[in-house]
Amino acid sequence: MKKILHKTISFLMALVVLLSTMSFIIDMHFCGDTLVDTALFRKAKTCGMKMQKAPIKECSITKKNCCNDKQIAFEGKDNLQASFNSLSFEQQQFITSFLYTYINLFKGFNNNISPFKTYKPPLVTKELFKLDETYLI
């Protein structure tokens, strides 16, 4: 049981480190106010309504494009090394006192002391359950 718990916790910790250091981008394509496509790690598919480039004339009217693309970027951490140089004196004092008390908390628990070892159980003189039983005839 302890081995399975240890493996599970180590796997979860590795997964947390992996997910915290991974960077990714979510790419979204909107056509007007409607979300057409969402993609992770690749370019989102368009709705197929690309603006046609009209030849330049004096009388040409250009339309505003109704489609737009939006990207949301999630940056992962680059440094995972915690620096203990930035701890204040009070924090260092708390950590050392906590560790000292925690280590000394379990010092005397190596011996299995049973307080009932010297006492013997009482002798049964009467069977009490037989005295209180009722029988239906």
Name, in order, each residue with C-beta under 8 angstroms of 54's C-beta and a sequence gap of 6 or more: 60, 62
H helix or E strand, kind and range, residue 28: strand 24-31
Which sequence spans correspond to the domains of the chain?
Answer: 23-77
pTM over 0.75: no
Q: Measured in Å, how far apart are the chain's first and last C-alpha atoms? A: 53
Residues 67 and 46: beta-carbon distance below 8 Å:
yes
- pLDDT tens readout for residues 80-95: 666 667 788 898 899 9
The residue-averaged pLDDT of 9-27 equals 89
Cα distances (angstroms) measured from residue 130 to each of 10, 30, 77, 79, 134: 57, 84, 73, 75, 9
Residues 46 and 36: beta-carbon distance below 8 Å:
yes
Provide the 10 A C-beta neighbour count for residue 44: 19
- pLDDT tens readout for residues 89-124: 898 899 999 999 988 887 766 667 777 778 887 787
Q: Which pLDDT score, from 0 to 100, does residue 98 have?
A: 93
